[in-house]
């Protein structure tokens, strides 16, 4: 469970476009998080993508560092997230980095953990409705 495989990544252009039309988006600084229950079931309970704009960081090295740290924070905190998601559902999640400065890893991890918790609350509320 401590891996982050290709099937856990959000790669499909069609799924990205569907995610763009999502009603559920929020900001947990330094991220804007967009999440949606996917119509296409996946191998795992969630598929994740990370976006860092070229406008924020001109150098690819810095953009890649933020993406790598975000994926690592997700990888380490996904087990309780997967366990709490309702069975038979797949969620697509997009983390968009907003800040203009390179972050501390602890700040990224705290934000990712809080974001996953908020998605779980939304999923539980959607389950009741």
Tokens (6 digits) for 41: 């079931």
The domains located in the chain, with CATH, are 6-128 (3.30.230.10)
C-alpha dist (Å) from residue 8 to 5, 19, 54, 58, 93: 5, 15, 24, 28, 10
Average pLDDT of the residues in 76-99: 94
What is the pTM (predicted TM-score) of this model?
0.94
Query: Is 86:123 a contact under the CB 8 Å cutoff?
Result: yes
Query: Model confidence at 128, in pLDDT bands (50, 70, 90)?
Result: low
Could you give the CA distance from residue 49 to residue 92 in angstroms, rounded to a whole number? 8
Order the strands of the 91-97 sheet from edge to edge: 24-28, 31-37, 91-97, 46-52
Average pLDDT of the residues in 61-88: 95
> Is residue 94 predicted with pLDDT exceeding 70?
yes
**Tens-digit pLDDT profile for residues 2-60:** 889 999 999 999 999 999 888 899 999 999 999 999 989 999 999 999 999 999 999 99
Q: Check residue 127 and give its pLDDT.
A: 63
Q: Check residue 124 and give its pLDDT.
A: 86
Closest of 85, 87, 73, 71 to residue 122, by C-alpha: 85
């Amino acid at each position: 469970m401590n891996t982050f495989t290709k099937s856990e990544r959000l790669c499909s252009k069609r799924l990205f476009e569907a995610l763009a039309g999502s009603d559920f988006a929020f900001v947990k600084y330094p991220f804007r998080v967009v999440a949606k229950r996917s119509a296409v079931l996946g191998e795992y309970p969630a598929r994740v993508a990370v976006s860092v704009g070229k406008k924020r960081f001109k150098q690819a090295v810095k953009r890649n560092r933020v993406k790598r740290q975000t994926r690592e924070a997700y990888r380490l905190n996904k087990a309780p997230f997967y366990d709490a998601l309702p069975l038979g559902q797949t969620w697509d999640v997009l983390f968009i980095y907003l800040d203009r400065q390179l972050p501390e890893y602890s700040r990224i991890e705290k934000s990712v953990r809080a974001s996953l918790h908020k998605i779980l609350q939304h999923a539980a509320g959607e389950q009741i409705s």
